[in-house]
Amino acid sequence: MLTGYQLLPLLLKELVIDQAIGSISLSPEEEAVALEQFYQQQHLQAQTQRQEWLDYHRMSSEQLTQQAHRQLKLHKFKVQHWQHQIESDFLQQKGQFDQYLYSLIRVTNAEVALELYFRLQAGEQSFAELAQQYSQGPEAQAGGLVGPVLANALHPTLAQLLTTLQPGQVEPPIPLGDWYVLVTLQHRISAQLNNSLRHTLLDRRFNAWMQDQIQRLSVSDHAISVSIQLP
């Protein structure tokens, strides 16, 4: 039944989490912080908003509190097991989190793209002017300007090109899918290991571990056997 409704992976994940955080406790102060953080995340500052949320999710206030505590326990589990690896992960993956502000001209004709490149090299028109006149994507309205965009959200070819460009530099047009594109880098924003990125890297470690745990679980038609392997 669970498999038929594609609920099994979700159930397995919740069972693994329950076992992982089973030995983690919260102080009264942490419990209060967990609840307040949950309210902030869900934008539930007013009592009426909290009651509406409970009604919508068909939960009691006790269940909400348990969910908030569970979230903090899970975060503590992640920190306990992977916090010491985060700086190393950041150094290895930093390039994925750099952001790029760049300008783009895209056309479907290779000869047009090359002609625009020669105009830029000759200084006949600015990149923004040519983008407004010729680019065939929505970036034309902004003079070709795009971003800032995370490196890992870019097309791999475009991301690789931007890592090699200096601000203002324009390379000959390159094929990109159905397009021929001209790109110039405006600004590269180097990633910093802030709290948000720490959470992202912790989640990556946790998700990889979770996937491994789910694959290890023993599942039959009548029972699920859960025995996790800690990192």
All structural domains of the chain with their residue ranges: 8-90+194-225, 99-189
What is the Cα–Cα distance from 10 to 214, expressed in whole angstroms? 10
Please give the backbone phi and psi of residue 101, each rounded to the nearest 5 degrees, phi first.
-105, 120
% residues pLDDT > 70 (the chain): 90
pLDDT at 137 over 70: yes
Ranges 8-12, 98-102, 162-166, 203-207: which has the least confidence: 8-12
% residues pLDDT > 90 (the chain): 83
Q: How is 110-170 classified by DSSP, letter by letter?
A: HHHHHHHHHHHHHTSS-HHHHHHHH--SGGGGGTTEEEEEEGGGS-HHHHHHHHHPPTT-B
- Position 220 scores a pLDDT of 47
pLDDT at 194 over 80: yes
Tell the residue number behind the tokens 């290890």, with chain if given: 216
CATH number of 99-189: 3.10.50.40
- Position 7 scores a pLDDT of 59
